[in-house]
Amino acid sequence: MLFTKTTSPLKGELTVPGDKSISHRAVMFGALSEGLTEITHFLPGADCLSTISCFEKMGIHIEQTNEKVLVHGKGLHGLTAPSGILDCGNSGTTTRLISGILAGQDFSCTLTGDASIQKRPMGRIIKPLTMMNGQIESLTGNDCAPLKIIGSSLKGIHYRSPVASAQVKSCVLLAGLYADAPTSVTEPALSRNHTELMLNHFGASVTTQETTAAVLPEPKLIGSSIQVPGDISSAAYFIAAALMIPGSEVLLKNVGINPTRDGFLRAALDMGADITFLNRATQGGEPTADLLVRYSRLHGTTVEGAMIPTLIDEIPILAVLAAAAEGTTAIRDAQELKVKESNRLDIMTKGLGNMGVDITATEDGMIIHGGTPLQGAVIDSHLDHRIAMSFAIASLTAEGETEITRAECVDISYPEFYRDLRRLAG
């Protein structure tokens, strides 16, 4: 797909699609609840459709209309053995969270996904699930999918996770629903807490103290209504574009601003961004706001430590923003980016370098000296949605043409991304 420099500022209002993490969890927890769960503003991206299809294969009736997704839950013990392999597509969230649920069932099954999923590390969930007495095996013997899971009687544990990962934490907490005693997870830094908030919304007992989350087993989960907030990870592309393109003013409506997810906003404000929070509200424990974003003169910043999990998916677009800012931006402690849908540190460094940015990869991040004008380049998305969207935004400020190959991979989290970009950027 070809992109050229925009000649006009970004103007207008946009409601970004529903949050991907919250959409996955609404389907999963709705399936494990008794009765109907009604989800509005569900994200119909390929990842969340993978979650729907896995639960349908385990006997859950799910209705999808333009306005709503209705999940007819069957309770904690209502899933049935799928007739074939569960296909998680490109979705790490589906793979890791479902594994926690499957470990405590009274049936066995195999799950896998696309080429990217088959390279992503699953040892991080195999280890705690095995400590819980779960039976989970990488069929290729390399700690990656395909995974065979034999449902077992699980025991409650306290797990000290070496990584700050909501997927690992959620996997262990979900297995903990089926355990014989309370289960808790301590992380090195707090990752997104949507599982904790939403499980409680459905009637479970989850408590949090600093970076430890604990769950009591065998709750009675009751179907509920979930209004999914706009995805801050999707909003981040338009926030960045509006901040970088002179004269821009964009209103992003109903965006999730959960403090475990808002690191991109904090980093942008620290860089000098003009962002106003309007109409603050809370939906199912999740804080939201409308964000009014205006073009700003930005300067470099440092992001590291406990901030990293709060903007983990926004680091590619943060790198684009840093390239437009005056001065140096340092991103540290972000080695997790190497094991996302692609090696995002490597791809962002090479791609922005090809566009003329003074950028250096480090062991755990990147150093960006911003302020140099960008030039168009040919960028391979590596079928990674966040890479494609980040370079589409970078191209709006680049001289000449930018070609993004396999750009349609935005379907994973934002099927209408190019339509919305065309509308706002003219």
315 by DSSP, 3-state: which?
helix
Q: Contact between 389 and ligand S3P (CB under 6 A)?
A: no
Q: Contact between 51 and ligand S3P (CB under 6 A)?
A: no
Nearer to ligand S3P, 170 or 381 (CB): 170
Per CB under 6 A, which region of 38-46, 162-170, 171-179, 284-292 contacts ligand S3P?
162-170
**Residues in a beta bridge with 379:** 404
Please say if 346 is a catalytic residue.
Answer: no
Nearer to ligand S3P, 170 or 301 (CB): 170
Q: Where are the beta strands (DSSP E) in 86-143?
A: 86-87, 108-112, 135-138
Residues that bind ligand S3P (rule: CB under 6 A) add up to a total of 12
Q: Pattern 52-81, binding to ligand S3P, x per CB under 6 A?
A: ------------------------------
Rounded CA gap, 76 and 166, in Å?
Answer: 21
Q: For tokens 């475990």, what's the residue?
A: 260
Q: Report which residue type is found at 253.
A: K
Q: Contact between 312 and ligand S3P (CB under 6 A)?
A: yes
Nearer to ligand S3P, 37 or 93 (CB): 93
CA 154 to chain centre: 28
Considering the complex, what minimum distance in angstroms separates the CB of residue 135 from ligand S3P? 23
Type and span of the H or E element at 154: none
Among 27, 69, 166, 368, binds ligand S3P (CB under 6 A): 166
Residues 329-388 within binding reach of ligand S3P (CB under 6 A)? 336
Residue pair 318/303 in contact (Cβ under 8 Å)? The answer is yes
Distances (CA, A) of 17 to 14, 22, 233, 309: 9, 11, 10, 21
Catalytic residue among 47, 231, 313, 420: 313
Q: Contact between 161 and ligand S3P (CB under 6 A)?
A: no
Per CB under 6 A, which region of 32-40, 160-168, 213-221, 277-285 contacts ligand S3P?
160-168
Distances (CA, A) of 150 to 120, 143, 211: 21, 16, 30
Q: Contact between 301 and ligand S3P (CB under 6 A)?
A: no
Nearer to ligand S3P, 121 or 151 (CB): 121
Nearer to ligand S3P, 43 or 132 (CB): 43
Nearer to ligand S3P, 152 or 258 (CB): 258
Rounded CA gap, 207 and 192, in Å?
Answer: 14
Rounded CA gap, 350 and 338, in Å?
Answer: 14
Q: Contact between 93 and ligand S3P (CB under 6 A)?
A: yes
Q: Report which residue type is found at 251.
A: L
246 by DSSP, 3-state: which?
coil
Q: Contact between 313 and ligand S3P (CB under 6 A)?
A: yes
395 by DSSP, 3-state: which?
helix
Q: Report which residue type is found at 245.
A: I
Per CB under 6 A, which region of 35-43, 161-169, 174-182, 276-284 contacts ligand S3P?
161-169
Q: Contact between 183 and ligand S3P (CB under 6 A)?
A: no
Considering the complex, what minimum distance in angstroms separates the CB of residue 195 from ligand S3P? 7
Helix 92-103 vs helix 123-131: angle between axes, to the nearest 10 degrees?
10
- Secondary structure letter of residue 260 according to DSSP: T
By CB atoms closer than 10 A (0-12, 13-18, 19+), residue 133 is middle
Nearer to ligand S3P, 90 or 395 (CB): 90
Among 14, 17, 18, 21, binds ligand S3P (CB under 6 A): 21
Per CB under 6 A, which region of 50-58, 165-173, 201-209, 360-368 contacts ligand S3P?
165-173
- Please state the φ and ψ torsions of residue 272, each to the nearest 5 degrees: 105, 15
Q: Catalytic residue positions?
A: 313
Q: Which residues bind to ligand S3P, rule: CB under 6 A?
A: 21, 92-93, 165-167, 170, 191-192, 312-313, 336
